[in-house]
Amino acid sequence: MPRIRLLPDVVINQIAAGEVLERPASAVKELVENALDAHATRIAVTLEAGGRDLIRVVDDGEGMDHDDLHLALERHATSKLASVDGLAAISTLGFRGEALPSIAAASRLTISSAVAPGEGHRIEVSFGTLVASRPCSHHRGTTVEVRDLFQALPARRKFLRSAETELRHTLATLTALAVARPSVAFFLDHGRRRLLDLPAAADLSARLADLLGPRRASRAVPLAHAEPPLRIAGYLLPELSARDTLLLVNGRPVRDRLLGVAVAKALRTPSGETVGAAYLLLHLPPDQVDVNVHPAKAEVRFADPGRVLAAVTAALARARTAAQGPAPVRRLVLVGPPGPSTQPLPYRPTPDPPPVHVAESRPVAPALHPFGRLIGQYRGTYLLLEDAEGLLLVDQHAAHERVLFEELLARPPAAPVQRLLVPEVVDLPPARALLAVEQRDLLQALGVEIEEASGASIRILGLPAELNRPDPVALLRQLLDDLAEDTAPRVPPRERAAASLACHGAIKKHQPLSPAEAEALLRRLAATHDPHRCPHGRPVMLRLAHGEIEQRIGRR
């Protein structure tokens, strides 16, 4: 027998399913895009177990008859592409004809559809095998049910995360499509909870109010740029995290590396901080962008990437200026006794902020830590010590981070919580609000007390007493961003949350400490399991040996 042979269709479809379907959110994306291509005005999604057990998508689009329904399950069968010329100017979200057969190969799939209210047709497929095909009563449009996703692909199923994580991915997917199509109503239910309720809106501004809440939507800064045939629209959202940025090209959510880097740079201040997130909608002729790059259709290539990147940067720069105003320019007029001076005076920094107390002030006692004798503080940022071997610089922020991190992890249930005099209400993106509710017990164990408010809002009731007077709203937002981050899946959520709280609650650079406060911090640092690195892996201290110092200064 020949060693090379044709693969059976069921294997081919499962290979294709591995490319098209990464997780339940991928299946939801493909099904909702099909509904949008069918001109649906209302799309309702229902999930169970984060989409593992059930995905149901109901739309009021054009629907399919018996013949179209059967053809839709064949690989590379589509109504959106007729010839090779069409690949050069794709204007629909779908076009490859792989999504439905891929989903059918990886699940128990049922599709009911009708082109007019009344008699429709229903088809059932079990992991690539046709089970039933019969007439049914159905409204105009299509209902797709996907059950037991990846049950026949155990290698893929075992890589799925928790139901909560998979649900957040689906919520993010639907949010992006809802931003792209504000005129379409979107709904998402998980079990008995409605997580997304977005009625059809007149425009993106009205959609933002439903998606983010009226207060945060009112603070969104419109952005626009036109270099025909390229048009850019969208919003700069100062109160969102940079991770919430959405990039849409001709209504298609995309992940373009160069475009993502350009947006990240445009949103970053000279000090390295970000000014928020952006919902960026690019419109250009279909023949100027190639969407046929990957089966998942999330990557694109531009015919003129340099022009696109320059336009995006310009649009974001103008929006930042509108949001923050022009950068302040300081003018110094220096007058000396003989007349105007032509020599600049040395720069004098603004006064230091008031000291931050990490311990009660008391007379300085002899050091009870192994790091050496405290000499003082350098630049309001580093503690300077000497011992028998040389000079030691301790980063006070990193040191306090390590201390708080270990103290939070060892926090007993009865540890004190600093109650807020007036609870803070935080408006969050729906996915972040969902994450806050799901992780409420974990946050409670670390001293962060929250409760659900209306919509996608969370009420902050208390914070760990160990933290150094943090901003409650900024702390919760950063904490949820760090918990949602999937780049470090091996780090337990409790440790990620503790590291985030420690970073936000630790003393900052340029904050003076008294000798008593510095000694107290060093004693607490000496009691930690790992005093040499902060929770994120950055060094806490730097040593300069006596010999190195003398060599650099020219002594023998």
For residue 143, list its beta bridge partners.
58, 112
d(CA 26, CA 517): 53
Could you tell me which residue, 122 or 340, shows the higher pLDDT? 122
Mean residue pLDDT across the chain: 83
d(CA 157, CA 129): 20
DSSP 284: -
Instruction: Please tell me the least confidently modeled range out of 83-97, 254-268, 503-517.
Output: 83-97
Tell which residue, 541, 474, 540, 484, has the closest CA to residue 505.
Answer: 474
* pLDDT above 50 (res 361): no
Q: Tokens standing for 212? A: 């983010």
pLDDT tens track for 37-49: 999 999 999 999 9
Question: 232 near 250, Cβ under 8 Å?
Answer: no
What is the DSSP track for 168-229? Answer: HHHHHHHHHHHHH-TTSEEEEEETTEEEEEE---SSHHHHHHHHH-HHHHHT-EEEEEEETT
Q: Compute the average pLDDT of residues 275-289.
A: 89
Q: Compute the average pLDDT of residues 495-513.
A: 91
CB neighbour class for 366 (10 Å; exposed up to 12, middle 13-18, buried from 19): exposed
Give the angle 528-531-534 at the CA atoms, nearest 5°. Answer: 105
Q: Tokens standing for 339? A: 């007349």
pLDDT tens track for 183-240: 999 999 998 888 899 999 999 999 999 888 888 888 899 998 998 999 999 999 988 8
d(CA 507, CA 512): 10
* pLDDT above 80 (res 96): no
pLDDT tens track for 414-455: 888 889 988 998 888 888 888 898 899 999 999 999 998 876
Tell which residue, 92, 93, 95, 90, has the closest CA to residue 288.
Answer: 90
Residue 350 is predicted with a pLDDT of: 43
The backbone torsions φ and ψ at residue 157, rounded to the nearest 5 degrees and listed phi first, read -65, -35
> pTM for this structure?
0.73
CA 73 to chain centre: 34
User: How many residues are listed for the chain in this entry?
Assistant: 556
d(CA 99, CA 74): 10
Q: Match 């405290």 to its residue by tokens.
A: 374
